[in-house]
Structure 1
Amino acid sequence: MSGERGGRTPTGSTVADTSTDRIGVLGAADSVMSRLRGGDLGALPVILGLAVIWTVFQILNPVFLSSGNLVNLTMQCAAIGTIALGVVIVLLVGEIDLSVGSVAGLGSAVLAVTFVQLQWNLALALLAAVAIGTCVGLLYGIVYTRFGVPSFVITLAGLLGFLGLQLWVLGDTGSINLPFDSWIVLFAQQLFLPAWLSYVAAVLAAAAYASSLLRRARRRVAADLDSQSLREIGVRAGVLLAVLLVSAWYLNLSRGVGVMFLFFLLLVVAAHLTLTRTRWGRAVYAVGGSEEAARRAGIRVDRIYISVFMLCSTLAAVGGVLAAARLSSAGQSSGGGDTNLTAIAAAVIGGASLFGGRGTAFAALIGIAVIQSISSGLTLLSLASSVQFMVTGLVLVLAVIVDSVSRRSRAASGRA
């Protein structure tokens, strides 16, 4: 049987029976427990924390887990979640970008001015807004690699400088409303997948996941390594399919799956595949793990830093555009307030390590889900924003403590 020790792999090859590597579901469980004992907690603490948050708020207010509120929650996650995705990528190389909020505000201002006041074509206005973010990241990368200025200082200066540039771009108008009938506003507010299409998307996502697992198993067999059995692959893909179908069904009880939220999910998946399946992605993790080791391995470290800063600022500008479209306006407060800190907190809470080299693109999705869940739950309880900030700060501290403790555990077990 494929699920037994010493059984046949998905390609038909026989895997030797060993005492340490067991094939099948039980072997996978043993592997997970081994990683947990070694301090490799992954996203488990965050997922458990999210489950606790949802349970508590549902007990306090039964509206929290209603279909309508969860639809609102998903739509609220998209804009800042996109910004947080860029922060995750910067954290992977052990750096930080404190100006993502200002860059997001600048992107929204450029969109509003070019599209509404200058009457540019919307596609061209969007391109200009995103390009501004890319140029900002390029500037950061050059200053960092050429002059050795810490990213903390560079981006702190950028926070102030690009906030001023945002105010200058907006001029005396202060705030500019986007046309309600423009497709960018419709995209952010009113476009939802038809129910049948959301189910099709769930099936396609599960099939792609199963195909990915199967390809990985075949590569491991070709390298004479133990691999997942067909049974385990089927179970994992089946669980994912069930979760996606149930989620789509429940959201469809209200308005359904928002196209903007789906866009955010696609960005997360694309970033994940880029980080895990490409040479550039492996180089990012290598630089975050040890810059000197990466340099000796032949990696162009400077180019990695520049590309990471560019990608972070680009995603910040995209997030600013989504936020402006969601609110149908861009103003002096766009990207301000708690946008900056929320995006950084989401990345850290989601599991991206402040020490670099550890984390996944899904940290942005999980982290922003935690923060927006806290915000939504406290709003439903009619509690002040001050309570939300304090609770979010506490969750952030706990996330950093977990990261630090797990890092020490990995070092003690030789897994760091």
Structure 2
Amino acid sequence: MRAFVLHPDIKSSPSRRLPEHGLAEAVSLASALPAMDVVGAEVVRLQRLHPGMLFGSGKVEDLAARFKELDVGLVLVDGPVSPVQQRNLEKEWGVKLLDRTGLILEIFADRARTREGVLQVELAALSFQRTRLVRAWTHLERQRGGFGFVGGPGETQIEADRRAIDDQVIRLKRQLAKVVKTRELHRAARKKVPFPIVALVGYTNAGKSTLFNRITGAEVLAKDMLFATLDPTMRAMVLPTTTGGTGRKIILSDTVGFISDLPTQLVAAFRATLEEVLSADLILHVRDIAHPESAEQSADVMDILTSLGVNKATPMLEIWNKLDLVDGSAREALASQAAQRDDVLAVSALTGEGVDALLDRVSLVFDEEKTERTLTVPFSDGKRHAWLHAQGVVEDEAQTDDGWQLALRWTARQEKQYRDL
């Protein structure tokens, strides 16, 4: 299908992203769907959103002419589109229209393979469809015109459809609960054989699956494509050891990639899939360090981890991946910057550069002995208090007349860092 991508850049609600990069990501999303031929893309700058049409009437007419000339059958709007706006634009342009949420749902529906993945996508899609019943029934009203129906389907029909969707949602949630229960049994079984879980998280297409394959020797689908991985994959592996003995056994988990403005329906639906992250003993945050908006992508990932309720005390390492795509002095600067930090490693999952050092660092996280200590930090020393919380070493906290009384569990390395602050 011939598709055209539009990225609205609204002055009244600025984004942390450059609109050109947002458009490029939207084009990549569209290209992730099979049989999708993207024939054009454009950033549309707006002072404000127009309630009925999203865009101004002049822009709508201009785009209608271009779509006709290019024989466009599908328009993808990289942002939220209300049911009324969708109905009006489809009527004006004579095309099918998908907003960002609808597009991501289409990709997920195409990629889900496991029973759990399929159920989660169906659940998310139903939640999305329920909000768009006005549009759906207006569409049917147009179709019914030739059959002699007087007027539209009416409120009664919309309510009936809403009930039908609610019934399906209840049925899917029951089925999903059974799958989740099975997953919980597997997790309980793993706890009896207490191997630490290391979860790979990151923005979509950051190279998590390539790194997963490099470390474990698995053959998980790894493509230069958004959302190549949807269903979580886990592999047991043995970490290398410098002592010559048998290394520690861990379970490595590859997870679905995150994305900015991830639909709320998907965050809720995929919570079960992401439970491995919630129960992880170590999180590896994989970043595409060659991407022009790597910092913004990292901020989006951290926002989603927070919304999922990931424990701040869980240790996390930042993996600066795709070093092979960075040239010359910029590459040297990144490697030097990473070397100065304990929680950052620069690697190339594609070439294997830095992966051995990464595995050594993961081993060190689990090998470091932790001691318990009670410490009083004066109220005037907010910097040290904030640092301790950021390190995730605070087990308990109370306030006394002298300051914060903290129960800590930390390594000798962290204690030294604290003293040097």
**Normalising by structure 2, what TM-score?**
0.23
Structure possessing the higher radius of gyration over alpha carbons = 2
Higher strand share: 2
**Normalising by structure 1, what TM-score?**
0.23
